[in-house]
Amino acid sequence: MEEKISQIQKDYLPKIASATTLKELDKIFLALFGKSGAITLLPGQFSKLSDEERHRVGPLFNQIKQVLEDAISLKREAVRETIYKSLENEKFTLQPPRLQAKRKGHLHLATQFKKEIVDLFRKLGFQQFDAPHIELDKYNFEDLNIPKDHPSRDMWDTLYIDTSNLKVEPGQLLLRTHTSNFWPRLMEKGKIPIKAMSFDRCFRYEAVDARHSHTFNQFEIAVVGKNITMANLKYLSDYLLKAILGKEAKSRFRPKYYPFVEPGVGIDSLCVFCHGKGCKICSGTGWFEIAGAGMIHPNVYTATGLDPKKYTGLAWGFGPDRILMLKHGIEDIRYFLEGDLDFLQKY
């Protein structure tokens, strides 16, 4: 048995040494470690050995197995390095010019949805305004009536930027947790009336699973002006829900606390999947939660240099990823950002 093992080594080490291509190495690897490879099959014969023999043969076998594995991977590296060197001999050629292959292109589902919603609100005079992803605490929290050390901060699990090499206090720079940072950035410019929207990426400290992601989209609108009312908010809610979920959809307001609005409401949609009768999607209630909204809080005006007595405003935000999942029966949120072409090319 020991001879057999040594023989394998004697046979294969020179083969490995003389190989010059990755293909040859792959062949050798298969011959050794494949399903019926020499190394793979050998332990099957150990059962015939006496205990004493096995104690000798076992370690030897393992050692030689390791030697062969190492030899192959070292050689692979060497062959690769030669290939890398030979790249020097390759040319930058454009002749003959090569035409683009014919393929069917696809826009990401989120881009298609964004276009749909943005067009919908553009009809009402809304304009896009995107704010930074890496944001100051001021715009993401403080201006939005979320003071430091207030318990409401717990509503957002936040990813902070490492500022140890910067002249910024720790905790002052973060990855924005919502698109709402666009309102203070726009409001402080003082150009009222505002009718703006943003469909963009946000971040949370959240482990990724089928329903949660640390990176996700939000769509949000904000209106600031004179005589902006909750009745307007209701109209805009129905307008959006009907457009994206069908004519049957309608909104329902529930009291809900968000520090940057007062009154604040949670918005449910009539469940269009069961026509409000109750199903799995709406947990049997006939309604499902879709958005958060409200009338912009007076403290937000004050923080951005506007007079809260002069203006009223509304804001409305929701997570498009979740709606897309509902509409298309997508079971896993990770499909959106992991680039699986089977998924992306379905739409």
Partner 1 sequence: MKISLDWLKQLVEYKLTPQKLAEELSLMSIGVKNQTEDYLELDLTYNRGDLLSLRGVAREIVVITGCKLAFSSSSLSDYPSLPKTPIEIEGLELSPIQCVAKIEGLKVSPSDKEWVKKLADCGMRSVNNLVDVTNLIMLEFGQPLHAFDQDSVKDEAIIVRVAKNKEEIITLDGKIRKLNSEDIVLADTQKPLDVAGVMGGKDTEVKESTTTILLSASMFNPVMVRKTSKRLGLASEASKRFQHGLTKTNLLQAFAAAIKMYESLGGKLTAINLVGDLEDTPKSINLTKKKVVELLGLEISSDFIISSLQKLQFKVTSKGGDEWEVIPPYFRLDIALEEDLIEDVARIYGYDKIDGQPLKEVTAQKLDQSFYEFIYNLKLGLKNAGLTEVQTYSFYSTAVLNALDTDKQKLVKVANPISAETEYLRMNLWPNLVEVTGRNLRNGFSDVAIFEIGKSYQTDQEGNPQEEYRLAIALCNDSDNPLEELISMPKSLGLDFILKDAPLLGISGELFHPKRFIGGLAEVHLRVLNKFGIERRVAILEISLPLKP
Single residue of 27, 252, 322, 327 touching partner 1 by CB under 8 A: 252
- Of 261, 265, 291, 293, the active-site residue reads 261
- Which secondary-structure segment (H or E) carries 21? none
- The answer to whether 315 is a known catalytic residue is yes
The tokens for 322 are 């979740």
> Is-contact 248 270, C-beta < 8 A?
yes
- The answer to whether 185 is a known catalytic residue is no
- Identity of the residue, 36 or 94, whose beta carbon is nearer to partner 1 in the bound complex: 94
Residue 295, interface with partner 1 (CB under 8 A)?
A: yes
> Is-contact 151 137, C-beta < 8 A?
no
User: Which residues in the 68-87 window bind partner 1 by CB under 8 A?
Assistant: 80, 83-84, 87
Single residue of 106, 275, 277, 310 touching partner 1 by CB under 8 A: 106
Residue 41, interface with partner 1 (CB under 8 A)?
A: no
Half-sphere exposure of 104 (CA within 13 A, CB side): 5
- The answer to whether 261 is a known catalytic residue is yes
Q: Which long-range contacts (CB under 8 A, 24 or more apart) does 58-64 make?
A: 60/2, 60/5, 61/5, 64/5, 64/6, 64/8, 64/9
Residue 228, interface with partner 1 (CB under 8 A)?
A: yes
Residue 210, interface with partner 1 (CB under 8 A)?
A: no
The tokens for 264 are 């604040």
β-strand pairing of 261-270 with 251-255: antiparallel
216 forms bridges with which residues in the sheet? 202
Residue 265, interface with partner 1 (CB under 8 A)?
A: yes
Instruction: Give residues with Cβ within 8 angstroms of 252, minimum separation 6.
Output: 267, 268, 269, 270, 287
Residue 225, interface with partner 1 (CB under 8 A)?
A: yes
User: Which residues in the 125-154 window bind partner 1 by CB under 8 A?
Assistant: 125-130, 132-134, 149-152, 154
The tokens for 234 are 């209701």
Single residue of 160, 248, 275, 305 touching partner 1 by CB under 8 A: 160
- The answer to whether 243 is a known catalytic residue is no
User: Which residues in the 180-209 window bind partner 1 by CB under 8 A?
Assistant: 186, 191-196, 201, 203, 205-207
First-to-last alpha carbon distance for the chain, in angstroms, is 60
- The answer to whether 218 is a known catalytic residue is yes
Single residue of 35, 165, 247, 280 touching partner 1 by CB under 8 A: 165
Cα-Cα-Cα-Cα torsion 30, 35, 39, 40, nearest 10 degrees, comes to 150
- The answer to whether 207 is a known catalytic residue is no
- Of 133, 204, 322, 334, the active-site residue reads 204
Single residue of 40, 298, 322, 332 touching partner 1 by CB under 8 A: 298
- Of 57, 71, 131, 178, the active-site residue reads 178
Residue 280, interface with partner 1 (CB under 8 A)?
A: no
Residues with active-site annotation: 156, 178, 204, 218, 261, 315
